[in-house]
Protein backbone atom coordinates (compact mmCIF):
# COMPACT_ATOMS: atom_id res chain seq x y z
CA UNK A 1 0.00 0.00 0.00
CA UNK A 2 1.26 3.46 -0.86
CA UNK A 3 1.38 5.90 2.08
CA UNK A 4 3.21 8.87 0.58
CA UNK A 5 3.90 10.26 -2.88
CA UNK A 6 6.81 12.61 -3.53
CA UNK A 7 6.61 14.85 -6.56
CA UNK A 8 9.70 16.86 -7.49
CA UNK A 9 9.30 19.78 -9.88
CA UNK A 10 11.47 22.20 -11.81
CA UNK A 11 8.27 23.85 -13.15
CA UNK A 12 8.84 22.47 -16.65
CA UNK A 13 6.02 21.09 -18.79
CA UNK A 14 7.12 17.54 -17.96
CA UNK A 15 7.05 18.18 -14.23
CA UNK A 16 3.56 19.69 -14.53
CA UNK A 17 2.43 16.42 -16.09
CA UNK A 18 4.11 14.47 -13.30
CA UNK A 19 2.37 16.62 -10.68
CA UNK A 20 -1.01 16.06 -12.34
CA UNK A 21 -0.34 12.31 -12.26
CA UNK A 22 0.68 12.52 -8.60
CA UNK A 23 -2.49 14.42 -7.71
CA UNK A 24 -4.56 11.82 -9.53
CA UNK A 25 -2.88 9.04 -7.54
CA UNK A 26 -3.52 10.89 -4.28
CA UNK A 27 -7.19 11.33 -5.12
CA UNK A 28 -7.57 7.65 -5.99
CA UNK A 29 -5.59 6.22 -3.07
CA UNK A 30 -6.09 8.73 -0.25
CA UNK A 31 -2.35 9.06 0.31
CA UNK A 32 -0.34 12.16 1.18
CA UNK A 33 1.37 14.19 -1.54
CA UNK A 34 4.70 15.85 -0.80
CA UNK A 35 5.94 18.45 -3.28
CA UNK A 36 9.50 19.72 -3.62
CA UNK A 37 10.93 22.28 -6.03
CA UNK A 38 14.29 21.42 -7.53
CA UNK A 39 16.56 23.46 -9.72
CA UNK A 40 19.90 23.00 -11.34
CA UNK A 41 22.55 25.13 -9.76
CA UNK A 42 26.01 25.39 -8.39
CA UNK A 43 27.02 24.89 -4.80
CA UNK A 44 30.15 26.94 -5.37
CA UNK A 45 33.79 25.94 -5.74
CA UNK A 46 34.82 22.47 -4.65
Residue 25 lies in a domain: yes
Residue 11 lies in a domain: yes
Q: What is the dihedral of CA 20, 22, 27, 30, to 10 degrees?
A: -170
Q: What is the pLDDT of residue 46?
A: 64
Q: Which residue range is the domain that position 21 belongs to?
A: 4-37
Phi-psi region of 30 (alpha: psi -120 to 50; beta: other; left: phi over 0): left
Q: What is the pLDDT of residue 30?
A: 94
The pLDDT tens digits for 5-43 are: 999 999 899 999 999 999 999 999 999 999 999 887 767
pTM for this structure? 0.72
Distances (CA, A) of 29 to 1, 36, 45: 9, 20, 44
- Name the β-bridge partners of 6: 34
Nearest CA-CA partner of 5 in 16, 13, 21: 21
Q: Give the chain's domain count.
A: 1
Amino acid sequence: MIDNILCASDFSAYSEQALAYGVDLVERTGTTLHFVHVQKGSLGPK
